[in-house]
């Protein structure tokens, strides 16, 4: 079965099954802090096309304007419920809408902000030849990314120099060795780490 067909089927089933859960989370977010339920952010996808990535809002409104990345799980911009949504990756589940509409895949290189994509060299730009995904090998290896950035004098510079190149190498390895079973393995490993709360 073609990857797009698998993505469409499982994202549709996932959205239908999770709809009641989404409603509960939506009410909780609204009761916890002022602002919208969803947070939409422009990311770069396949072929350098930009799209709106869906997430449950985990920060206070306009907090993202202060810096492009989150530093530490106790970043003061994160709401009370946002802490738990991030810890268990629940905030990422609305991206099933992105998968359903075709801007993302279940598995693939995580989509980046344009300011970071503009720094890619020619080889690294190959990650833009496939649809970005909800999870990838880099998401598993750097599941504690926020903690790695915590305490750094310049978190963004540290991310660009130390983390981003490794992520891109992992994504390029995936592109050259992708398969249905590889995707299944990545999904299962992601779920395992989420259940462990890591």
> For the segment 19-28, what is each residue's pLDDT rounded down to a tens digit?
999 999 999 9
Q: What is the mean pLDDT of residues 150-172?
A: 94
Q: Say whether pLDDT at 126 is over 70.
A: yes
Q: Give the confidence band of 18 by pLDDT, cuts at 50, 70, 90.
A: very high
Q: Say whether pLDDT at 123 is over 80.
A: yes
Q: Say whether pLDDT at 69 is over 70.
A: no
Q: How much is the pLDDT for 172?
A: 97
Task: Retrieve residue 113's tokens.
Answer: 């902000």
The total of structural domains in the chain comes to 1
Per-residue burial over 109-142, b = 16 or more CB atoms within 10 Å of its CB, e = otherwise: bbbbeeebbeebeeebebbbebbbbbbbbbbeeb
In the chain the first and final C-alpha atoms are separated, in Å, by: 32
Q: How much is the pLDDT for 71?
A: 58
- What Cα–Cα distance (Å) separates residue 29 from each residue in 67, 78, 83? 22, 12, 11
Residues spanned by the domain of 162 = 3-195
Q: What is the mean pLDDT of residues 131-142?
A: 95
Q: Say whether pLDDT at 153 is over 80.
A: yes
Q: How much is the pLDDT for 143?
A: 85
Angle at 110 between CA 63 and CA 106, to 5 degrees: 115
d(CA 164, CA 141): 12
Q: How much is the pLDDT for 180?
A: 92
d(CA 71, CA 78): 10
């Amino acid at each position: 079965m073609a990857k797009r067909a698998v993505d469409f089927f499982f994202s549709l089933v996932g959205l239908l099954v999770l709809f009641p859960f989404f409603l509960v989370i939506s009410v909780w977010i609204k009761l916890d802090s002022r602002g919208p339920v969803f947070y939409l952010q422009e990311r770069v996808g396949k072929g350098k096309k930009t799209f709106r990535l869906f997430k449950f809002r985990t920060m206070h409104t306009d907090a993202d304007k202060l810096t492009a990345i989150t530093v530490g799980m106790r970043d003061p911009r994160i709401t009370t419920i946002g802490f738990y949504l991030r810890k268990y990756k629940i905030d990422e589940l609305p991206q099933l809408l992105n998968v359903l509409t075709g801007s993302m895949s279940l598995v693939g290189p995580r989509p980046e902000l344009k300011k970071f994509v503009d720094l890619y060299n020619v080889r690294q730009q190959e990650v833009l030849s496939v649809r970005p995904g909800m999870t990838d090998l880099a998401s598993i290896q750097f599941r504690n990314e926020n903690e790695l950035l915590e305490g750094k004098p310049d978190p963004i510079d540290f991310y660009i120099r130390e983390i981003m190149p490794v992520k891109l190498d992992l994504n390029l390895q995936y592109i050259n060795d992708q398969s249905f079973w590889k995707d299944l393995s990545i999904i299962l490993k992601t779920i395992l780490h989420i259940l462990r709360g890591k």
